[in-house]
Structure 1
Amino acid sequence: MSAMTIRRDIAELADKGLLKRVHGGAVTTSTLLSEPLFSVKSQMDIGLKGAIAQEAIQYVAPGDVIAIGGGTTAYVFAQHLLESQQSSGITILTNSIPVAELVQALESKDVEVIVTGGVITRSNSLVGPIADKVVASLRVNTVFLGTHSVSIPRGFLMPNSLEAATDMAMMDIADRTIVLTDHTKWSCTSLSLFARFDQVDTVITDDGLDPDSAAKTKDLVKELVLAHQSETIEESE
């Protein structure tokens, strides 16, 4: 094949976080450090994320002040929430640029959004000291966070240490913490721990989680919710 084809394929794989471009070629990336772009992750496991989102919106009441973290599962939750009656009069604090854009695009301005500011990550999240300082000055009823991986018995992890720190800051100002994650995250590994199991009130995942992992997680967290993915997939079809 041509050199141009090779360069194009390498660029595409690098965008997906599957390898790292270097002078003269490419090298493999560690699964501990790689993180696909938001545009890539948003196309993955859509049915699972929709099922999780439908369960999560039940934890929001009209007029609530909530926080929504970065990542595509949190983004799908925001989509479902803004289409529901529970979003009436709510205020959303977020470090997710896509979530903020969702609110801004609403025809009805019944929802207020506060954006943290900060440094932009590959997942289109705003992190770092600026974000953490804004978050620390506020208070929310509930924070909804995604996660890159779930490690038993350690907890919830992110590949980006700055993003992990900002998630921790959001947890510090919330009365309740809810983690939204599909069952595939139990087989992933990441670098930075942002929450132990005993720091999380509810974990919402899908019923594709294997029984052993579900039983161990249920013993470690206050509440484990298994969303029925089949119903959402049928509706999307």
Structure 2
Amino acid sequence: MDARRPRKDAVRNRAAVFAAADALFAQCQSPQNVTMADIAAAAGVGKATLFRAFGDRTGLIRALYAARLEPVRKAVEEGPPPLGPAAPPLVRVPALLDAVLCFKLDNRHLAMALESAGADSPYRTEHYERWHTLLRDLLEQTPGPAAAGSAGFAAHALLAATRADLVAHLADGKGVPREELRDQLADFTASVLGAGTGRGPASGRGAGC
């Protein structure tokens, strides 16, 4: 047996922990109300098991978030246009932001838990650094105003429009429909790119939205 391969019970426990944490964060009024003890009890594992596997509560949230985000990451890094590397920047930028927004809409309970986890602010997470670097590099290749020496700041500004707290405020607090949010983000992105408005064929769309 390969010692590097996780045991079947460890794989089952991890899946049970992720499912339990996902459900608890989705049902809670505030992410801060969900404790490691709550997750352990819901998953049917010992609390010590969680700490051994994830280090702490933030580590667990980060691991769960990364697992849920994996399909988006794969589509961006390996997939076909409009998200994949073969798409031109003016198509790929709005497609990436649309995919991130859709992910936040579908997983805002989890995104809120991560964004409220203290030291793991949205600006210090691995996925934020990945998206920001990619957006900055793509913006530098566009002919619009974002390429004129401010691509890094423009990338931050575009990603700020997909923050979980803003998405939750608009979708839950203000009742803005999903498609309207996507259209508004597409228009904002187009204004930054200087590439017209709307979520038409040239602007691209995220995968699975």
* Normalised TM-score (structure 1): 0.27
* Structure with more of its chain in helix, by fraction: 2
* Normalised TM-score (structure 2): 0.30
* Structure with more of its chain in strand, by fraction: 1
